[in-house]
Amino acid sequence: MRIAVLFKEVPDTYGERELNLETGLAVRTGDNVADEAVERAVEAALTIAEATGGEVELLSVAPASADANIRKGIAMGAENAHIVSDDSLIGADFTLTAEVLAALVRREEYDLVVAGNVSSDGAGGVIPTMVAELLDWPALTNLTKVEVAGSTVTATRASDGATMELSAELPAVISVTDAFPDARFPNFKGLMAAKKKELDTLTLADLGIDANDFAPARAIVVEASQRPPREAGTLIHDDGTAATQIADFLAEKKFI
């Protein structure tokens, strides 16, 4: 079984985040890390591979500078990584990103694609489903458990109101939630192997994709502005009537 993980590098969740007001894009010159949801997806994929005798590879749309974080996934146990790095992808929307990832999946002929359910930067949560749509594969998303037996994947999706048991025939796309275990720590052997691994880097031309072809619907930034400063809140000084003032304030805002 050949398993692909959709790998994404994101700005460090605990670092400062800034928006470039000229481009409307996040400034990514600071500390960048592998997305936490992606690390769980890698762990899920490796667990499935170990149970089925399969192998895991990483697929990423990323700048060349993302190599170090992608190699972390290889150090964990992935066999290889395929990276599409192209200046035309700067500021790529969900549609173009999904198109590129789907092309990579077709090129490498995988049986299963694993992704995190939502990234920590854009938080769109749509890429796994869009990739599945482009491939015409079943999509099992927002999963808390998953197993693969033969040519069938079975999974559990839990929400606030219900738990669903899902199944689909391979090939398929799945996305996992933070209910899955944290990523394993790479061992020394894995780190050394990842350091020497020659990554497969491609451009859009290699995949036959034109970023300026707007026949598929694409989203573009038309305006960006700084978020306005927050207005000062209402201060309540307790002179014996604080409870009444709070109740009146909540009633005015229609909270009660």
Q: 42-94, pLDDT tens digit by residue?
A: 999 999 999 999 999 999 998 888 888 899 999 999 999 999 999 888 888 89
Q: 182-228, pLDDT tens digit by residue?
A: 888 888 888 888 888 889 999 999 999 998 888 888 887 777 788 88
Cα separation, 115 vs 110, whole angstroms: 14
Percentage, residues of the chain above pLDDT 70: 99
- All structural domains of the chain: 2-207 (3.40.50.620)
Peptide bond into 171 cis (omega under 30): yes
Least confident range of 11-15, 77-81, 126-130, 237-241: 11-15
Phi, then psi, of 150 in degrees rounded to 5: 65, -125
* pLDDT, position 120: 73
Q: What's the start-to-end Cα distance of the chain, in Å?
A: 56
Closest CA to 45 of 239, 188, 226, 180: 180
